[in-house]
Structure 1
C-alpha cells in the first residue's frame, strides 16, 4: 500500500508539473503578448471619388486611397494609438454604416448640418471650402448669376450639402442626384445636365484635368459650415480625441500642407 501511495503522489506531482509547463506566461504591459495580441484598429468610412479630399490613385502599381482627408484620419488614428483601416463606399451609405457600427468614423468632406447632428456626433471643423457651379466650357457665358440657373437641370451628389443648395437657391431646378462625383461630371459632359454644384477644391481638381468643363461666375450664397469628422452618437471620448488632433494639425499648419500635397497628387495623375 505504501508503494502504491508513493506512486500515486509521484503521478500527481508529474501531472502538476506538466500542467504548469503548458501554461503561457501572462503578457506584461508594453509587451506584444504573442500571436494572441492584436493591435487596436479604427475603421474609416469614406467615399473615395472626391479629390483632393479622398480618391483612388495607382502608386507603385497598387491601387491606393489617398487625399487630405486620409492624411487627417491617419493622424487621428496615430494619436489614438490605433491602426487605420479605410473602407470605400457610396457617400449616402456612410451615415448608415456609422450608425450600424460598420465604420468607426467618417472623413469624406462631410458638412455637419443640423439634420446630420441629430443622428451622429461631429468633431470641430477641420476645413472650410466654398460651393461652386460647374458647367460646360461652351456654356460658360450663359451662367453668370444664380438667377440664370432658374429651371435648369442641376446634378449634385446624393445626400450632400450641394443638394440642399440646389433646392433652396435655384428656382424651379430640375435636380438629379448621383452617388459619385465622377458620375456627376460625366452627366454634365454628356449634356444630361446643365450644371453641377461641387465643392471648390473638388471642382478645381476636375476642371484642371478636363478643359471641356469650367467653374461658372454664378456662385451660391452658402454659409461656410466646412467639413468635420463624424462619429457614432454618444462617442464623446472619440470626438474629444479627434478635436485634439485637429487642434494640433491646425496649429502646425499641417492641414494646409495636406491640402496642397493632395492637390498636387491629383494634378500628377
Structure 2
C-alpha cells in the first residue's frame, strides 16, 4: 500500500512539473510579433550544427575560433538587415527544431530542407541554395558501389533528422540506415567499416572528399521532389513578418549573386586553409577550453549535488511520511530516467519557461540533480551502516538528534561511504560529456569541433580519451589520499 501511495505521489509531482510546460505552444490566432521581438531584444539567435561544410563549420581566423561558411554569411547579412546583433548557438542537428519550438533560438540556418513534414511545425523562407543528394564511400569501394541498388544488404549512414536519412529509408530497400547526430562521426564510421556509404548533400559531400583522399563522392540517383530539395531558413510557426524579412534578405543575396561570387568561394578558402593547418597541436586551445568547461561543470555539480543528496538522504530516513515519500519519488524517478533526457528537458523544457537560462547553467543543473539522487543513496547506506548502538549511546549522553548526526553518525558514515562517493565524483567527469548535446562547450563538444574542422575522426577522439583519463586518474589518486587520511584519523 505504501508503494502505491508513493507511485501516486510521483505521478502527481510529474503532472505538476509538466502541466505548466504544456501551455507553451504558440496559438495560430496570436498576433505576430516575431520581427518586433527580435528588434526589441537587439539580437538574432540562430541555431545550427557546425559540422556541415561548406554551409557551416569552424575555422581559425587570426588565432581565434570562428564559425564560417555559407549559412554563417547569410545569418550575418540577415542580422545586419534587421539592425541587430547575431548570436550563434551550435548544437546537434536533431535538436535544432526542439530549440526553435522552445524559443531557445529565433531561426535555424543549417542547410535545412523544407520538407512537408517540417512545414507542419515551422515556417520556412524561400530556398536559398539547392544541390543534389550524393553518396560518400571509401575510394577502395569505387567499383563496388555505383548506384542505390548496389547498397542492398549494406548499412548506409545519414545524419539524424535529415532529408538524407528519410531518403535512405524510403528509396534504398534492403539496406539498414544508421543515423548519427554528427557527420564527422559518420565519416569515422565509414572509414572503420561500420557503414558502406553516407548520404550527404552535394556541396557537403564534395567538401569532405576534397579534404580526405581516401573518400569518393558520386550521385547514386536519389529521387527528390521539388518541395524537398534545397536549403531554407526555418522560423517558428506563424511568423510571417520574420519570414518576409528573411525573404527580402535572400532576394538581395540572389540579386547580387553573393552565393557564387562571395559566400561559396570564401567557404572554400577557409576549408583549404584548414586543410593545410589541421595538425592536432594547432587546435590545443579547443581541448584547453573543453577541459575548463568540463571541470566547471563537474566541480559545480558535485558541490550542489552533494548538498542536495545529503538533504534527500535525511529526508528518506525521516519518520515524516511526506518528506520520506518526496525523497523516494525523486530518487527513483531520477535514477529511472537517462541523464541525456534530463539535460534536454532542463534546457528545452524548463528553459522554455525561463528564457534566459544558458546552456551551461542548464547542463550544470541537470547534472547536479542527477548526481544528487545517487549521492543520496550512497549517504543513506552509509548512515544505515552505523550500528544503532552508536546513536542510542549518543542520545543517552544527552545529545540532540541533530548533534548525534553531526558529531557521531555523519563522521563515521563518511569514512564508510568515501570510496563509493569518490567513484560518483569520478563518474561525473565522464558523464558531463552528455551536456555537449545542447551546445555546452565541454571537452566532448570541443572534440567534435576539432573533428569537423580537421576532417579527422580518430585522432581527436584519442586525445579526448587521454585527457579524460588524466583527469579521472588524477582525481582518483587525490581521493585515495584523502581516504587514507580518513582511515588513519
For the Cα contact (< 8 Å) 2:158–2:198, is it kept in 1?
A: yes
Indicate the residue corresponding to 2:238 in structure 1: 234
Q: Which residue of 1 aligns with 2:73?
A: 71
- Kindly tell me: are residues 134 and 258 of structure 1, through their superposed partners in 2, closer, same or farther at Cα, counting changes over 3 Å? same
* Match of residue 48 from structure 1: 50
Between the aligned partners of 2:219 and 2:98, the Cα distance in structure 1 is 36
Is contact 1:158–1:179 with CA below 8 Å preserved after alignment? yes
Q: Deviations over 1:147-190 (max 9, x none)?
A: 11112100100010000110111111111100111111111011
Match of 1:252 among 252, 256, 276: 256
Shift of 1:100: 0.5
Within a 5 Å distance, the mapping from 1:50-199 to structure 2 comes to 50-199=52-201
Structure with the higher fraction of residues in helix conformation: 2
Query: Please, which runs of 5 or more residues in structure 2 have no aligned partner?
Result: 1-39, 275-489
1:152–1:264 distance in 2 versus 1, CA, 3 Å = same
C-alpha contact (below 8 Å) 1:150/1:170 kept by paired residues: yes
SS class of match (2:142): helix
Calculate the TM-score normalised by the size of structure 2: 0.47
Aligned equivalents of 2:71, 2:77: Cα separation in 1: 10
Q: Residues 54-89 of structure 1, C-alpha deviation per residue, up to 9 Å, x if partnerless?
A: 001111221111111000011111111111000100
**Structure that is richer in strand per residue:** 1
RMSD across aligned positions (CA): 1.2
Distance 2:87 2:49 in 1: 14
User: For residues 145 and 160 of structure 1, do their structure 2 counterparts lie closer, same or farther at Cα, with a shift above 3 Å needed?
Assistant: same
In structure 1, stretches of 5+ residues that fail to align are 1-37
Distance in 1 between residues matched to 2:146 and 2:174, nearest whole Å = 18
Which of the pair has the greater relative contact order for Cα pairs under 8 Å at 6+ separation?
A: 1
Per-residue deviation, residues 192-237 of structure 1 (Å, max 9, x unmatched):
1011101111111111111111014523222352000000111110
1:93 Cα deviation from its structure 2 partner: 0.4
Please tell me whether the aligned partners of residues 52 and 205 of structure 1 are also in contact (alpha carbons under 8 angstroms). Answer: yes
Aligned to 2:335: none
Q: Deviations over 1:239-258 (max 9, x none)?
A: 00000000011000012221
**CA-CA distance at 1:39 after TM superposition:** 6.8
Aligned counterparts of 1:39 and 1:156: Cα–Cα separation in 2: 36
- Retained in 2: the 8 A contact 1:133–1:220? no
Match of 1:264 among 241, 264, 269: 269
| 2:206 paired residue number | 204
